[in-house]
Chains A and B, each alone.
Chain A
């Protein structure tokens, strides 16, 4: 069996506060193979972005506590690296695309210069090679005239173009793993389709493993092979994309899917919602965190935490953390 491109084992993130421990990410494990895309889906505040930051080791200065058995890229554990060693990995082996390109790009440098800086730091094989790599990466994300974009400042680009430039920057060193955090959320549907299409193309060309974080299930459906559904820092369901949408097993997954507005020939008479709302990390209910909102909850659900059983009948990689699955 080949080594997974990204392997995360027993990752937890929490804050120590005066009023006690705030658990943000609760002991999650997953792995992504080269060339595959795994979606991480859940409502705002469920811990998706914190998971990404913890993988990259970006939470050190934030006061958050991070604990993991291992975070491996191509079999190499990066969770134990020093800050200096980590800087050599970020951008080269693993890179991230953020939700707000406008905030992630530096307004005072041209796009070309910012992309070139990444390549120079990690590859550094001379000015002309760096420039060629920079223009190539812009061309690969779909810009017909990369020189023009390279000379532009971030404010001269539309949101969609800036996001494509961000993807070019993240992929200039052809990392093995790409984390895309809501890469298309702020964009309209046409532009979103372009972004997702370009991410897929890059993946096909370089065999990148992608962790795609989104609260938008239609984005997940269009782009992922596997999906992880997260709620209050825990993974409730892990499965392949097709099974999730055709036959979700966790009641929460089913609820999320039924909330997606559909385009039907007849105007829908009512809108389906999930009752209640996401609890705050300071007031997590005991047992299964979703139990108070769940119409299938049993007495066991409020007493103990259902484990995410993987390797069940459906396939090796799927599982559901529920005492009363669908």
Chain B
């Protein structure tokens, strides 16, 4: 009934020079590019307001890009006809941060899980009932929850229901937007366990958005770091956590480490404080511990290094050939 035909060789999702702004004024996403292969998990990290959730919304075509393309299975989301867009949305599902806010309080679990199947006209009544039971089993809930309402569940169970609602249409890509941030560590651990099962047993690709690097570490194959709308580094996860390249990534890791007693640098203030430098500078120049004169003057290019056949990209002047001790090449 529900079949997803994989296209070998083509990335599942391609984001190409994506730019987004609100009211054409505030640039929230600035020329962001990345690919996500089928079955892989990309951890998208950055401070609040860095543009992470806006990218998620653009992928679902909930907001329109100012520039750039989003390709799903090689097809541009912006130029899909309504039928194709609907099919794309069946295959791209999202789970939000606050489960109590993303489930309708007036619907039972059965109604909540049935709606996407109806909307996408998947299967007949018998198939739908089977699919709902099967999905509940996948997320670790018993079938006797079907007639209950969201308020009768704990937050961890509510998040399982939200995940079940996303899974019921059999997506290839699940966007998890801070999906475990609101949960207690013990509950968080069990949801992360579930996500690992979905990765290994169901081969679902994840765009896993979080500001918590420790959480990203548990689930991501690759890590992309955003700061003020720009993607500053994109790296294989093992490489990122052992050798982060961008000064911002290094700072993030230093604060995130559980054992760390490191303090934020002076001037590392909550979002809303404008860093120095004009639009032609590096976005991070005002906050960076390694700022060079060129950083205030010129926006850096992406520099790329190969690590176990996987590219590691970083947008920083430090990796210009003159400064680097490893081979980083400029990306055109």
Give the chain B neighbours of A194 by CB distance below 8 A.
264, 268-270
- Whether, in the assembled complex, A2 has its beta carbon less than 8 Å from a beta carbon of chain B, the answer is no
Residue from B47, B155, B192, B215 in contact with A190 in the complex, judged by beta carbons closer than 8 Å: B47
Least Cβ distance of A205 to chain B in Å? Answer: 17
Cβ of A189 and Cβ of B256 under 8 Å apart?
yes
Give the chain B neighbours of A44 by CB distance below 8 A.
154-155, 184, 187
Cβ of B218 and Cβ of A190 under 8 Å apart?
no
Residue from A191, A261, A272 in contact with B270 in the complex, judged by beta carbons closer than 8 Å: A191
Known: A264-B217, A267-B237, A268-B218. A191 touches B47 (CB 8 A): yes
A189 to B181, CA, bound (A): 12
Cβ of B189 and Cβ of A272 under 8 Å apart?
yes
Cβ of A263 and Cβ of B214 under 8 Å apart?
yes
Residue from B211, B215, B217 in contact with A188 in the complex, judged by beta carbons closer than 8 Å: B211
Give the chain A neighbours of B258 by CB distance below 8 A.
218, 221, 260, 262-263
Q: Mark A156-173, 1 if CB is under 8 A from B, else 0.
A: 011111001000000000
Least Cβ distance of B254 to chain A in Å? Answer: 9
Least Cβ distance of B51 to chain A in Å? Answer: 13
Cβ of B255 and Cβ of A158 under 8 Å apart?
no
Least Cβ distance of A186 to chain B in Å? Answer: 9
User: How would you classify the secondary structure of chain A's contact residues: helix, strand, loop or mixed?
Assistant: loop
Q: Which A119-169 residues have a C-beta within 8 angstroms of B? A: 142, 157-161, 164
The number of residues on chain A lying at the interface, defined by a beta carbon within 8 Å of a beta carbon of chain B, is 44
What is the chain A residue whose CB lies nearest that of B267?
A144
Cβ of B272 and Cβ of A189 under 8 Å apart?
no
Q: Mark A253-276, 1 if CB is under 8 A from B, else 0.
A: 001100111111111101111100
The number of residues on chain B lying at the interface, defined by a beta carbon within 8 Å of a beta carbon of chain A, is 43
A267 to B120, CA, bound (A): 37
A45 to B186, CA, bound (A): 13
- Whether, in the assembled complex, B196 has its beta carbon less than 8 Å from a beta carbon of chain A, the answer is yes
Q: Which B183-204 residues have a C-beta within 8 angstroms of A? A: 184-190, 192-193, 196
Q: Which B238-283 residues have a C-beta within 8 angstroms of A? A: 238, 241-242, 251-253, 255-258, 261, 263-264, 268-272
Give the chain B neighbours of A277 by CB distance below 8 A.
154, 156, 187
Least Cβ distance of B192 to chain A in Å? Answer: 5
- Whether, in the assembled complex, B49 has its beta carbon less than 8 Å from a beta carbon of chain A, the answer is yes
Q: How many A-B residue pairs have CB under 8 A?
A: 129
What is the chain A residue whose CB lies nearest that of B211?
A188
Residue from A189, A197, A217 in contact with B252 in the complex, judged by beta carbons closer than 8 Å: A189
- Whether, in the assembled complex, B299 has its beta carbon less than 8 Å from a beta carbon of chain A, the answer is no
What is the chain B residue whose CB lies nearest that of A266?
B238
Give the chain A neighbours of B175 by CB distance below 8 A.
none
- Whether, in the assembled complex, B66 has its beta carbon less than 8 Å from a beta carbon of chain A, the answer is no
- Whether, in the assembled complex, B164 has its beta carbon less than 8 Å from a beta carbon of chain A, the answer is no
Cβ of A259 and Cβ of B241 under 8 Å apart?
no
A91 to B271, CA, bound (A): 28
Cβ of B238 and Cβ of A216 under 8 Å apart?
no
- Whether, in the assembled complex, A297 has its beta carbon less than 8 Å from a beta carbon of chain B, the answer is no
6 interchain residue pairs of minimum CB distance: A160-B270, A188-B211, A261-B214, A43-B184, A259-B185, A259-B189
Please report A residues at the B interface, Cβ cutoff 8 Å. Answer: 43-45, 142, 157-161, 164, 187-194, 197, 215-218, 221-222, 255-256, 259-268, 270-274, 277-278
Q: With contacts A43-B186, A197-B264 known, what are 16 further pairs, Cβ within 8 A? A: A158-B49, A160-B48, A160-B269, A187-B270, A188-B48, A189-B211, A189-B256, A194-B269, A217-B185, A218-B258, A222-B261, A259-B186, A262-B217, A263-B257, A271-B190, A273-B186
